[in-house]
Amino acid sequence: MCRAVFVVALVALIRPAAEALDNGLALKPTMGWLHWERFMCNTDCDRDPDNCISERLYMQMADVMVKEGWKEAGYEYVCIDDCWPSHQRDAQGRLQADPKRFPGGIKKLADYVHSKGLKLGIYADVGKNTCAGYPGSLGYYETDAQTFADWDVDLLKFDGCFMDWKSLGDGYMSMSKALNKTGRSILYSCEWPLYEWPFQQPNYTAIRETCNHWRNFDDVYDSWSSIKSIFDWTASHQDIIVPSAGPGGWNDPDMLVIGNFGLSHDQQESQMALWAIMAAPLLMSNDLRDICPRSKKLLQNRLIIAISQDPLGKQGYRTAKVDSFEVWERPLSKNQLAVAVLNRQEIGGPRGLAIRAVPGWKICDPQCNVTQILPQYKEMGVQTQQSKIVLSVNPSGTALLTVTPVSKDFKGLSKLHRKNTSVKRKHNTSL
């Protein structure tokens, strides 16, 4: 790298985003829980009542979200994915929930979730069938939008299976209009570009005008190879996709799988850090009823969530590849910068990267204040361009920092920073 890449990145940063879908929603990346990656299409409630797709699952998740600090941390949407409906529409052509697994129906479930101060998401498909073979919405966009509104649903994830790719745009736009017509605020999560990419480059201006977030790439799996493939796809398409992200509309790299089985703790930290840098929706797919305390603490880390939800609303870029490290940077409000340094070498022990190798480090002229958030919280104090800091990063782990420029005019302020730093210098893992 990487001067050229960085210059391209900067040019793209100052390009204004296209108009977002004007429904007043998703002004910050959506936060919540979505069942798919962890619970998939488990409909066997006789043999597996605790994990099958049923109203009980969402009610229990909503309970835990309130009791265990998730709601307080910002996680708001409890989302149903595929496999919730009956295989048949009702006599009026409306979708209906499977009566055995959702005896109370979706409206009652929405009331329950709302009584907890949370929101309910549901899933449907732009084509003839959902990906798991349940009825799709093709030919029923207005009916289904109205049904979801009548049930007081707050979010629709609209999949793209079983649809002629040439009609994807029409289908997604029609559903967007149908949702708008109901008069209810329903956040609209699309998979339009994911299904269009195999055929042609999607029109991100139109997508941003239509959807509140959009999946671009393959489904996430509970594995490091899956997470890496998402990083790689995002970085290799960043000049196309990053400019389209901003308040009201976001690129969606799919669910957080933190707290499941396939990622080491370092890898979980890498997913959390990079999802924040990518301004991605934070939709966890895990079992909140049974999650290890370290994963919970990571998912509820207020400093990482603050990066994700930063009001400037700009997605970050990969700005450098050096010595098997990747540097990712996201501009934040108040001229701050979030920096993630990902160690892509998967052999050996922790390796060091001089902080001066970070392209955005130039904001440290004349001075900046540095806070490390991952792998542990550490105030690194006031630094200059000549800083000697070397970040130590575990294999497949990430160091996450915020860098705040300090003007020389504010001598008093930098003195204050120095003072704070000397007090807080010890590792503090309480955040």
Given the residues 82, 125, 154, 159, the one annotated as active site: 159
What's the min distance (Å) between Cβ of 83 and ligand GLA? 7
- Tell me the CB-side half-sphere exposure of residue 268, using CA atoms within 13 A: 23
Q: To the nearest 5 percent, what fractions of the chain are helix, strand and coil?
A: 35, 20, 40
Amino acid type, 399: A
CA distance 275 to 398: 12
What residues numbered 168-207 form the site for ligand GLA, per CB under 6 A? 191
What is the per-residue binding string for ligand GLA in 134-173, x denoting contact by CB under 6 A? -------------------------x--------------
Among 102-110, 130-138, 260-268, 364-372, the segment contacting ligand GLA (CB under 6 A): 130-138
The number of residues in the chain equals 431
Start-to-end CA distance of the chain, whole Å, equals: 34
Instruction: Name the one range near ligand GLA by CB under 6 A: 61-69, 124-132, 372-380, 384-392.
Output: 124-132
Exposure on the CB side of residue 275, measured as CA atoms within 13 A: 27
Task: Name which of residues 52 to 91 contact ligand GLA (CB under 6 A).
Answer: 81-82
The 3-state DSSP class for residue 89 equals coil
The distance of Cα 27 from the centroid of its chain, to the nearest Å, equals 13
Nearer to ligand GLA, 233 or 377 (CB): 233
Q: How far apart are CA 274 and CA 298, in angstroms?
A: 13
C-alpha 229/C-alpha 227 separation (Å) is 5
Of 39 and 70, the one with the shorter C-beta distance to ligand GLA is 39
Residue tagged active-site, from 63, 111, 219, 232: 219
Q: Are 270 and 399 in contact (CB under 8 A)?
A: no
The residue among 285 and 414 lying less far from ligand GLA, judged by its C-beta, is 285
Question: Could you say whether residue 131 binds ligand GLA (CB under 6 A)?
Answer: yes
Q: Please tell me the count of residues contacting ligand GLA according to CB under 6 A.
A: 9
Does position 128 bind ligand GLA by CB under 6 A? Answer: no
237-241's contacts with Cβ under 8 Å and 24+ in sequence apart are 238/9, 238/12, 238/317, 238/318, 239/8, 239/9, 239/12, 240/201, 240/204, 241/204, 241/216
Binding mask 4-43 vs ligand GLA (x if CB under 6 A, - otherwise)? --------------------------------x-------
**Segment interacting with ligand GLA, rule: CB under 6 A, options 10-18, 127-135, 402-410, 419-427:** 127-135
Q: Does the annotation count 219 as an active-site position?
A: yes
Tell me 17's DSSP state.
Answer: P
Q: How far is the CB of 426 from ligand GLA (least distance, A)?
A: 43
Whether 159 is a known active-site residue: answer yes
| Binding test (CB under 6 A) with ligand GLA, winner from 106, 132, 279, 353 | 132
Q: Which active-site residues does the annotation give?
A: 159, 219
Binding site for ligand GLA (CB under 6 A): 36, 81-82, 130-132, 159, 191, 219
